[in-house]
A = this chain, B = another copy of it.
Amino acid sequence: MQTLWDHRYAQRTQRMKSSAVRELLKLTERPDIISFGGGMPAPEVFPIEEFREACERVLRDYGALSLQYSSTEGYRPLREQIARHSARYSIDVSPDNIMITSGSQQALDLIGKVFINPGDHILVESPTYLGALQAWATYGAEYVTVPIDEYGMITDELEAALRYGPKFIYVLPNFHNPAGVTLALERRKRLIELADHYGVPIIEDDPYGQLRYDGEHLPSVVLLDGQFRDNCSGEYCGNVIYLSTFSKILAPGLRLAWVIAPPEVIRKMVQAKQGEDLHSATFNQLVAHEVSRGGFLDRHIKVIRSTYRERRDVMMSAMDAYFPPGVEWTHPEGGLFLWATLPNNLDSSEVLKDAVAEKVAFVPGGSFHPLGGGENTMRLNFSYARPDIIREGIARLGKVLTNRISQQSAEKVRA
């Protein structure tokens, strides 16, 4: 079934790959599989009744407005609300520093579109968020990486990477996807100092920062950067582009996220968004604004925290009980993910095959490493499944891992 389109794909299309995570999401739609694969919120925490009331009020009070075209930068009352909400985390910005995007994935795409020339190097952590790699592949990005440990990006290794002349630094400081770790305060400060010294700006991707289950909230990189410079007449005008989203604190099905950046960067990204989807859905913006009002968002975040804290704890204690010696994992203070490291010779994509046979799934860690490596790592999501299901899934996975490791030992003995 050849068509005239077949030989007409652009060069960049050759670089596109279907994301392993998205393909896996399809697989794990099978209801008999226990999935630790995606990054999906718990369906139990969606505030369905509040959404129902918000839809009702929006259509009653703003009917035609909510269904009409609207401005590319986003519904101004929502941007004002985000500015106020950010101020609760001491991020003090004006609505002109804020634009609404169709999920953080679009923010990543727009950053690629506006900043990346083919062949540009981007400095990323290894491992890093797969969706960023996927968005930027289209624009011909190359990578230089800095490893992470339990305190996040190892800033002692940052300077060598900065000498490479990257276009920008991409960092996930809170409850890292996939690694679950959090960038220590001293490292945040060091990151800003070094970035400033080498003249390299920073993307701070923070979808989970508000979902902390233990310990103290750490100031955002964008906040520390702002304190580091002069005040720019009430607007943020520093070197950080900050991304966050309603996907993890309200609902991903709305496709609403936001970008905080210097006004000139916002202007360029708004131009790029005009050509990409005109604007994010008006109705969703009005509903998100309506549902978040009157302190609901802060109350709801507390509910999510307590739900996910329990699920994380259940997963960690099940791992203690069922995982064989030789497997290690991070102890995330928040977010959605745990990161496990298997013995060196074990390939987690091979383990996944056994796991799917036992009706449990996770994401093999290799694809999160832009320059390769990490084949013995795996990402486990603890937000989606209910606690009893988590325990059962980890038990199955423990059995799979125990079998694999004992097979491996047996092969070693034979060899």
8 A Cβ contacts from A32-82 to B: 38, 40-41, 43-44, 46, 48, 51-52, 55-56, 59-60, 63-72
Q: Tell which of B3, B8, B103 touches A167, judged by Cβ atoms closer than 8 Å.
A: B8
Flag if A115 contacts B199 (CB, 8 Å): no
Flag if B22 contacts A264 (CB, 8 Å): no
Flag if A237 contacts B1 (CB, 8 Å): yes
Flag if B46 contacts A63 (CB, 8 Å): yes
Residues of B within 8 A of A17 (CB): 271
A44–B44 alpha-carbon span in the complex (Å): 38
8 A Cβ contacts from A355-412 to B: none
- Shortest CB-to-CB span from A11 to chain B, Å, is 6
Q: Is A284 in contact with chain B by the CB < 8 A criterion? A: yes
Flag if A41 contacts B68 (CB, 8 Å): yes
A282: nearest chain-B partner, CB-CB: B253
- Shortest CB-to-CB span from A126 to chain B, Å, is 20
A8–B283 alpha-carbon span in the complex (Å): 34
Q: Is A129 in contact with chain B by the CB < 8 A criterion? A: no
Choose, from A85-93, A106-114, A147-155, A313-321, the stretch at the interface.
A106-114
Q: Is A16 in contact with chain B by the CB < 8 A criterion? A: yes
Q: Is A219 in contact with chain B by the CB < 8 A criterion? A: no
Q: Is A238 in contact with chain B by the CB < 8 A criterion? A: yes
Q: How many residues of A contact B (CB 8 A)?
A: 96
Q: Tell which of B16, B56, B139, B252 touches A67, judged by Cβ atoms closer than 8 Å.
A: B252
Q: Contacts A16-B268, A52-B56, A66-B253; is A276 near B199 (CB within 8 Å)?
A: no
A239–B3 alpha-carbon span in the complex (Å): 6
- Shortest CB-to-CB span from A290 to chain B, Å, is 12
Choose, from A130-138, A294-302, A332-340, the stretch at the interface.
A130-138
Residues of B within 8 A of A117 (CB): 10-11
Q: Is A307 in contact with chain B by the CB < 8 A criterion? A: no
Q: Is A348 in contact with chain B by the CB < 8 A criterion? A: no
Q: Is A201 in contact with chain B by the CB < 8 A criterion? A: yes
Q: Is A293 in contact with chain B by the CB < 8 A criterion? A: no
Chain B CB within 10 Å — which of A60, A71, A255 has the most? A255
A69–B254 alpha-carbon span in the complex (Å): 9
Flag if B40 contacts A272 (CB, 8 Å): no
Q: Contacts A10-B116, A276-B135, A283-B284; is A264 near B5 (CB within 8 Å)?
A: yes
Q: Is A341 in contact with chain B by the CB < 8 A criterion? A: no
Residues of B within 8 A of A272 (CB): 13, 16, 138
A68–B383 alpha-carbon span in the complex (Å): 13
8 A Cβ contacts from A132-177 to B: 134-135, 137-139, 167-168
Flag if A254 contacts B67 (CB, 8 Å): yes
A278: nearest chain-B partner, CB-CB: B105
A264–B9 alpha-carbon span in the complex (Å): 11
Q: Tell which of B6, B67, B274 touches A51, judged by Cβ atoms closer than 8 Å.
A: B67
Interface string of A258-270 (1 = CB under 8 A from B): 0001111100101
Flag if A9 contacts B114 (CB, 8 Å): yes
Flag if A277 contacts B9 (CB, 8 Å): no
Q: Contacts A64-B46, A276-B135, A281-B255; is A13 near B268 (CB within 8 Å)?
A: yes
Residues of B within 8 A of A66 (CB): 253
Between A and B, 29 residue pairs with Cβ closer than 8 Å are A3-B201, A3-B239, A3-B265, A5-B239, A5-B264, A6-B264, A8-B201, A13-B113, A13-B114, A13-B115, A16-B275, A17-B271, A18-B274, A19-B274, A22-B278, A25-B69, A46-B63, A55-B55, A68-B251, A68-B252, A69-B252, A105-B276, A109-B276, A134-B274, A135-B275, A138-B275, A251-B283, A253-B281, A255-B279
